[in-house]
Structure 1
Amino acid sequence: MAELDAITPWEALERAIAPFYPAEGSTGRPHKGLTRRLRMYVAQQCFSFSDEGTEEAIYDSQAIRHFIGVDLGRETAPDATTLLQFRHRLERHQLTEAIFNTIHAHLAEPGLFLREGTLVDATLIAAPPSTKNKEGKRDPDMHSSKKRNPWHFGMKAPIGVDAHSGLVHTLIGTAGHVSDIRQAEALLHGETLVVWHVAMRPGKRRALDQSPEAEQQEGREQTKASLRANVEHPFPVVKNLFHHRKVRYKGLAKHTSPLFSLFGLAHWRLARRWFLPAGGKVAF
């Protein structure tokens, strides 16, 4: 977690959240501080902990205690209710989007966003299809979508990625059945001069004849595939490293809120080569 701590612009994030955070002494419970709650929330997102699991991890892991800034010899750890209330505050005031935008601005300062091209893609995030709950219904904001042959029930996270750096500059949350094409315009920035379509599938490329025209087509398809590869990089960070493969709450707004935090925090992995010394290792 040392790399995440080094790359994250903590002071800027606190300034973005502070206007919506109660002043010290304005509540009845012992005040744990904005810095500590923010770090507790970040640890929860990165490790896919529940609220209670985050509290337990503070007691169990010295690395997480050090990251959050808790000394158990002098104080108790912030409890699960503290984190729950902080997370609800972030959702209520759309502050996870502010976290995403603040990290984006921090990365834009050294010129990592050239704004010369945008790559667009979307990933499916599963939702529980079961109706075995109190209401006897599925989440009404989630819908089924077909990816190749299987059907998936859940939501989509379309993203716009800077073609140069591979960093995410725009994020949208939609139901699973919403077409990716309908979101493309909202994910672009600036004036569009050239539009590249998706690369031809390898099976179709292998079926091309050996004519000079086919060889030229093969070269164009390889170029498209290499350009498009950058848009795939944020997804495994969010889904595999942060383990966000399924939605955790109900309602599209609650599902989309943590995505802004997750894709914002994913930049520590995507941008580490620009901010960390050569040979730096992940301390996760």
Structure 2
Amino acid sequence: TKKGNEWYFGMKVHAGADAGSGYVHSLTGTSANMHDVSETSKLIRKDDHVVYGDSGYLGAPMREEIKDDEALSKIDFRINKRPSSLKTADDFQGINWDKKMEHDKSAIRCKVEHVFLIVKKQMGYTKVVYRGIEKNMNRFHMLFASANLIMCSRAGRTQDFLGCMG
């Protein structure tokens, strides 16, 4: 993108993570002007039954590539609503069940956000280094693989991880 007379090379990284362990299993990258929902089908594994996502993925079940695929169309999409669509009266005294359900979805979805925290804060990633998306994606694959190793080590699962390396 261009702002004023300066060029900015922005990109988004979309990650699919396991809800139980939090490990990233799939990673895609797009230019900054692509919408999140366009990458949904690339982040889903064959054994997924439920998919959690933020409000950027609201239209995912209606996408052609998901409706046309028999396996993907059976997946239960639990996407967070936009905060503006959750309405309650100011004088409401009871439990706001809609807000609680959205909070519970976010609690599961935070697993993937935790991996981004590790990549950004502990590995010091702040902005893209290369101009091309493919070169940056090579770097992201290494960063997220390293983040998986860090999470595996913290969880005390080093034997499990070493077992798959031969």
Q: CA deviation at 1:130?
A: 8.8
Larger radius of gyration: 1
Q: Which one of the candidate residues 12, 19, 22 is aligned to 1:163? A: 19
- Which of 207, 210, 218 lines up with 2:99 in the alignment? 218
Q: Deviation at 1:199?
A: 4.8
Give the corresponding residue for 1:256: 137
- The structure richer in strand per residue is 2
Q: Is the 8 A contact 1:238 1:263 kept in 2?
A: yes
Q: Secondary structure of 2:99's partner?
A: helix
Residue type at the aligned position of 2:107: S
TM-score, with length taken from structure 2: 0.66
Root mean square deviation, CA, Å:
2.9
CA displacement 1:155-206 (0-9 Å, x = unmatched): 11111111111110000111111110000111011244311112553x875x
How far is the alpha carbon of 1:128 from its aligned partner? Answer: 10
3-state SS, counterpart of residue 166 of structure 1? coil
Structure 1 position 198 matched with structure 2 position 80: yes
- Displaced runs of 4 or more, over 4 A: 127-132
C-alpha distance in 1, partners of 2:135/2:43? 21
Q: Quick one: distance in 2 between partners of 1:199 and 1:232?
A: 17
Structure 2 residue ranges without an equivalent (≥5): 47-70, 160-166
Q: Which residue of 2 aligns with 1:110?
A: none
Alpha-carbon deviations, 1:234-253, whole Å to 9, x = none?
Answer: 10111111111111122111
1:157/1:129 CA distance change after superposition, 3 Å? farther
Q: Pick the aligned partner of 1:270 from 148, 151, 155.
A: 151
Pick the aligned partner of 2:88 from 194, 208, 211: 208
- Structure 1: distance between partners of 2:143 and 2:27: 11
Distance change >3 Å, CA 256–CA 196, structure 1 → 2: same
Kindly report which structure 2 residues correspond to 1:92-171, keeping only aligned pairs within 5 A, or say none: 138=7, 142=9, 154-171=10-27
Whole-angstrom distance in 2 between the partners of 1:128 and 1:261: 29
2:53 corresponds to which residue? none
Q: Is the 8 A contact 1:173 1:256 kept in 2?
A: yes
Given that residues 199 and 224 in structure 1 are in contact (C-alpha distance below 8 angstroms), is that contact kept between their aligned partners in structure 2?
no
SS at match of 2:129: coil
Q: CA deviation at 1:222?
A: 2.0
Partner SS, residue 173 of structure 1 = strand
Q: For residues 54-76 of structure 1, what are the alpha-carbon distances to aligned partners after superposition, in whole Å with 9 as ceiling and x for unaligned? A: xxxxxxxxxxxxxxxxxxxxxxx
Matching residue's letter, 1:223: D
TM-score by length of 1: 0.40
How many residues were matched structurally?
Answer: 130
Match of 1:61 in 2: none
SS at match of 2:79: coil
**d(CA) in 2 for partners of 1:217, 1:250:** 43
Retained in 2: the 8 A contact 1:198–1:224?
A: yes
Distance across 1 between alignment mates of 2:76 and 2:93: 27
